[in-house]
Amino acid sequence: MSKSSFALQVIFEDNHYIAVNKPSGALVHGDGSDAPVLSDDVKAYIVEI
């Protein structure tokens, strides 16, 4: 799992959906590099709530 460095900005959420603001150029899913990926932040956010 990649190290995360995004300030997650949740736009909308309910019991079925979550919408976040994706920074320009940010990876959504990992590409095998150590670059941070947005999906890691979303997963961590969901676990917290």
Residue 3 lies in a domain: no
Confidence (pLDDT) at 48: 83
Summarize pLDDT for 1-49 with one digit per residue, the tens: 455 667 899 999 999 999 999 989 889 998 989 888 999 999 999 998 7
Confidence (pLDDT) at 6: 72
The structure's pTM equals: 0.74
Neighbour tally for 10: CB within 10 Å: 12
8, two tokens? 């997650």
Residue 2 lies in a domain: no
Give the list of residues 6+ apart from residue 24 with CB closer than 8 angstroms, or none.
none
Q: Are 42 and 8 in contact (CB under 8 A)?
A: yes
Residue 27 lies in a domain: yes
Q: Are 22 and 33 in contact (CB under 8 A)?
A: no
Structural domain count of the chain? 1
Full residue range of the structural domain in which residue 24 is found = 10-48
